[in-house]
A = this chain, B = another copy of it.
């Protein structure tokens, strides 16, 4: 079932996680993967509600593999339009070949 697919990567503030995943699921993606990340960009909003001196990261990196590039671009557009005026973040896409997946 190997199949070319789009890999969408969203790096943004942890507080947005529930909101972004809601957008992802509404857009019809079959899944996503989340990782903790730290980072420096041009906004660098401080993370609310947690000590910066703690040993945790305040960003998340979300990866979404989609069969349709349109779905990926729609998710990206919605996230950016809705949140990137006020929140830190960067979004990029690339192509991967999916070898095995329980659904795509």
What is the interface of chain A, defined by CB distance below 8 A to chain B? 5, 7, 9, 11, 21, 25, 30-43, 57, 59, 61, 65, 73, 76-77, 79-80, 84, 88-103
Are the C-beta atoms of B37 and A92 separated by less than 8 Å?
no
- Pairs A–B under 8 Å by Cβ, sample size 27: A7-B92, A30-B42, A31-B40, A31-B42, A33-B39, A33-B61, A34-B37, A34-B38, A35-B35, A35-B37, A35-B38, A35-B61, A41-B102, A43-B102, A65-B90, A65-B92, A73-B99, A77-B99, A84-B100, A89-B102, A90-B102, A91-B98, A92-B96, A92-B99, A93-B96, A94-B94, A94-B95
Are the C-beta atoms of B102 and A98 separated by less than 8 Å?
no
